[in-house]
Amino acid sequence: MHRRTALSVSAALLAAAPLLSACSGQARPGTAAVVGGERITTSALQAQVGDVRAAQNRTGSTAAQLIQSSPGLERVKLNKMIQTIVLERAAEDAGVSVSEKEVQDFRKAQLQQAGGAEKLTAAALEQAQLAPGQLDADARFKLLRDKLFDHYGSQDKAVEKLASAAKTLHIEVNPRYGVWDARQIVLGDQDTPWIVQRTRPEQAPAGA
């Protein structure tokens, strides 16, 4: 049995470029963060946010409530984009990987336990600010994280390795989105996602 939480989505990265201007110290326009020398562009971040807002707007009468309950969506999404890259690096260092079949098997288990696609997508959107198109990446994130925890035999050891991976990536964040906390491996005041409990697939959408 694996540990699960809801978190999602790999970053769409473009060519490597510095986040900060050497002369001004200001964030480079169009860059949300730089991780491992790779830019996370503001357009990539806004695409993630836009998918969620579009899904929220499609809910009809509950749209306004869903939007109001997720005011920090940009930071939540950027946080997860950065953490995904950190997780990928730590997993690569450990020789841990997740296959497409594992992702699809997990997604099938989610659908079955939730009682269908409609209920699953509604829960993911409400509880974790996940658009339908972000669920596969979310599943991969959770599976890879759980394998990393199992590989090291303890959560504390795995988090230590994640922190080490984050340090080697030299993460820089545009101040517009908050301050990166290297110790907690988190952006701003987001909850630390590595601290999790063992749950079943149907519970995976819970949490942001």
- What pLDDT, on a 0 to 100 scale, did the predictor assign at position 17? 28
73 lies in some domain? yes
Q: Give pTM, 2 decimals.
A: 0.81
- What pLDDT, on a 0 to 100 scale, did the predictor assign at position 202? 42
Q: For residues 61-85, b (16+ Cβ closer than 10 Å) or e, as one string?
A: eeeeebeeebeebbbbbbbbbbbbb
3 lies in some domain? no
61 lies in some domain? yes
8 lies in some domain? no
DSSP secondary structure letters along 64-91: HHHHHT-TTHHHHHHHHHHHHHHHHHHH
Range of the domain at 108: 13-203
- What pLDDT, on a 0 to 100 scale, did the predictor assign at position 182? 84
Query: For residue 26, what is the domain's CATH number?
Result: 1.10.4030
186 lies in some domain? yes
Structural domains in the chain (count): 1
- What pLDDT, on a 0 to 100 scale, did the predictor assign at position 15? 25
- What pLDDT, on a 0 to 100 scale, did the predictor assign at position 18? 31
Residues 99 and 52: their CA atoms lie apart, in Å, by 26
What SS3 state is found at 44? helix
7 lies in some domain? no
139 lies in some domain? yes
Residues 63 and 68: their CA atoms lie apart, in Å, by 9
1 lies in some domain? no
Per-10-residue mean pLDDT, the chain, length 208: 34 28 49 96 98 97 96 95 97 97 97 95 96 97 96 93 96 93 83 55 41
